A and B are shown apart, each in its own frame.
Chain A
Amino acid sequence: MWSSDLEERIREVLAQEAEAARQGLEGLEERVMRAIAQRVARPGLWRRLKERWGLGFSPRWALAGAASLALVLGFALGRLFAPSPLPPSAQAGTLFAVVNPQAHSVAVMGDFSAWEPIPLSDPDGDGIWTAVLDLPPGRYEYAFLVDGKWVGQDPQADEYVRSFGEYASVRYVGTGGGA
C-alpha cells in the first residue's frame, strides 16, 4: 500500500516537470529569433549617445575637439619633456588641502604669500578644499584659515613650529627632504 502511494507520487512529480519543460520550450524558436533580430538592429554606442543626447558632429565640434586634445596633449608633453631648472615637485606645484565639509571658506597663507590669505576652492562641494601653488624650492611656514580661524597643524606638513602661541606647519619643497 505504502509502495503504490509512493509510485503514484513519483509519477505526479515527473508529470509536473514534463509540463514545466514543455511550457519552457513553447515559443522558444520565436523568442530566439526575436532576440537575434533585436541584437542586429541595436545601434552602436556612439549612435545611441547621438540619438539620446543629440550630439551632432559639425565641423566646428570636430575642430574644437581636435584643438582641446592638442592643447591637453601639448601641455602634458611640454611638462614631461621641457627642460627645467626646478625639481619635479616644484614643477608639478605644491598641493595644499583641507578636508572640512562644514567650512564656508578656507585659505592658506605663509611665507610664500607674505602671510596674505590665498583662497582654497571646493568646486564640487565634497568638503575637500584645495589649492596648488607653484613654489620654488625652499622651506615654507604656513597655516590655514578655516572660516577665519587659524589652523596651524596640517597633517601633510613635514614639521611644525610654534611661535606667538600658535602652531604653523612647514613644508620643504624640492629639497628631497620633504614634500
Chain B
Amino acid sequence: MKGWTPIAIAFLIGVLAGAQTPLAPPASPDQVLELLQALPAPPDLKESLAGELTAAMNEQRLTPGVALAFLGEVAELSQAYREDALGILNHALAGGYILDPLLNEALKGLRLGRPWPEVAGVLKLRIRLLDATQQVLQWQGVVLRPLGEAQPLPQRAPQPGPPPEAALVLEIAWAIGDFLVAGGSPADAVSMVEKVEERLLRLRGLLPVELVDHLLAELSPALVRQIVGLALSPERR
C-alpha cells in the first residue's frame, strides 16, 4: 500500500494542474420532454409545448439544462400558476426567440423567493419587449424576416445555432427591459439608448460586426421610444 503513495501523489498533482469547478452535466432534450409529459397540465398545451420545445432545442435557442430547471420549478407551482407559466413559455417559444435569458430570469426570481405573479409580470414585459423590438427592427429593415422563419439569408452562409438577428433582437430588448425592470422611466429614451449602445459595444465581438454597426447607426431615442411605446401599448398588455 505504502509503495503506491508516490504514484497516487503524482496522479493528484496531474489532476490538480487542470482543476476547474465543473458545471453541472448537460441535460438532454429527452429529459426535458419527459418532465413536460409528467407535468399535470392540459394535454393539448403539453402537445403544443413538446413540438415547440423540440424545435427550440434543435435550433439552439434553448438549452435543455435551463428548460429542465424551469419545468422543475413550474412543477412546484399551484395548478393555476403552472398553466400560466406554461402559457407564457408557449407564447415565447412561438415567437422564435432565444429563450435561455427569459427562463433564467424566471429562475432568478423564483430563487429569490418571489411569488409567481411577480415573476410572471417581469416575464410578460420581457416578451412584449421582444415582440416589439422584433417588429420595429423589421420595419427599420434591420431584421429582414420574422425570427420563426428558417429560410437562410442569401448573402450569409447558414451557421449552426440561432440566426444573429435573433441575438440582436434579444440584446436590444433585454437592455431596454433591464432599464425598465430596475425602475427606469419608459419616457427616458436617451438613457435606454445609452444602455443599448453599451450592451451592443460590449458584445461586438460575439455578434456580427456589420449587423451591430448597422444597428448602432440606426439607433436613436425615436427608435427606442417606438419599441417601448409598442411594448407598453394597452392592447399588448
**Chain A residues in the interface with B (C-beta under 8 A):** 60-61, 63-65, 67-68, 71-72, 75-76, 87, 93, 109-116, 118-119, 131-134, 137-139, 141, 150, 158-159, 161-166, 168, 172, 174-178
Which A residue sits closest to B14, measured CB to CB? Answer: A71
**Chain B residues in the interface with A (C-beta under 8 A):** 3, 6-7, 9-10, 13-14, 17-24, 65-66, 68-70, 100-101, 103-105, 107-112, 114, 118-119, 122, 171, 178, 181-183, 198-199, 201-206
Say which residue of B3, B104, B198, B206 sits within 8 Å of A115 (CB atoms).
Answer: B104
A114–B229 Cα distance when bound, in Å, is 31
Given that A64-B10, A67-B10, A163-B109 are known contacts, is A93 also in contact with B20, CB under 8 Å in the complex? yes
- Which residues of the partner chain A approach B22 to less than 8 Å between Cβ atoms? 134
- Are B181 and A60 interface neighbours, CB within 8 A? no
- Are A177 and B203 interface neighbours, CB within 8 A? yes
Which A residue sits closest to B175, measured CB to CB? Answer: A161
Say which residue of A63, A116, A174 sits within 8 Å of B69 (CB atoms).
Answer: A116
Given contacts A114-B107, A163-B122, A176-B205, 9 further A-B contacts (CB under 8 A): A65-B6, A71-B10, A71-B14, A111-B104, A113-B23, A115-B111, A158-B202, A159-B198, A164-B118
- Are A162 and B202 interface neighbours, CB within 8 A? no
- Are B204 and A175 interface neighbours, CB within 8 A? yes
Say which residue of A72, A163, A176 sits within 8 Å of B178 (CB atoms).
Answer: A163
Given that A68-B14, A115-B69, A164-B122 are known contacts, is A134 also in contact with B20, CB under 8 Å in the complex? yes
- Are B104 and A116 interface neighbours, CB within 8 A? no
Which A residue sits closest to B15, measured CB to CB? Answer: A71
A144 CB, nearest partner CB in chain B, Å: 12
- Are A63 and B6 interface neighbours, CB within 8 A? yes
Given that A118-B23, A164-B112, A175-B205 are known contacts, is A72 also in contact with B13, CB under 8 Å in the complex? yes
A162–B105 Cα distance when bound, in Å, is 11
- Which residues of the partner chain A approach B20 to less than 8 Å between Cβ atoms? 93, 132-134
A55–B169 Cα distance when bound, in Å, is 65
B68 CB, nearest partner CB in chain A, Å: 8
Given that A67-B10, A163-B182, A166-B112 are known contacts, is A131 also in contact with B69, CB under 8 Å in the complex? no
Say which residue of B21, B70, B105 sits within 8 Å of A131 (CB atoms).
Answer: B21
A163–B9 Cα distance when bound, in Å, is 47
Most central of A111, A159, A165, A174 by chain B CB within 10 Å: A111
- Are B202 and A178 interface neighbours, CB within 8 A? yes
B205 CB, nearest partner CB in chain A, Å: 5
- Are B111 and A109 interface neighbours, CB within 8 A? yes
Most central of B21, B101, B114, B204 by chain A CB within 10 Å: B21
- Which residues of the partner chain A approach B17 to less than 8 Å between Cβ atoms? 71-72, 75-76
A177–B23 Cα distance when bound, in Å, is 24
Which A residue sits closest to B66, measured CB to CB? Answer: A114
- Are B14 and A113 interface neighbours, CB within 8 A? no
- Which residues of the partner chain A approach B202 to less than 8 Å between Cβ atoms? 139, 158, 172, 175, 177-178
Given that A162-B181, A162-B183 are known contacts, is A137 also in contact with B107, CB under 8 Å in the complex? no
- Which residues of the partner chain A approach B178 to less than 8 Å between Cβ atoms? 161, 163
B73 CB, nearest partner CB in chain A, Å: 9
- Are B182 and A118 interface neighbours, CB within 8 A? no
- Are B24 and A116 interface neighbours, CB within 8 A? yes
A132–B22 Cα distance when bound, in Å, is 8
Which B residue sits closest to A131, measured CB to CB? Answer: B21
- Are B6 and A64 interface neighbours, CB within 8 A? yes
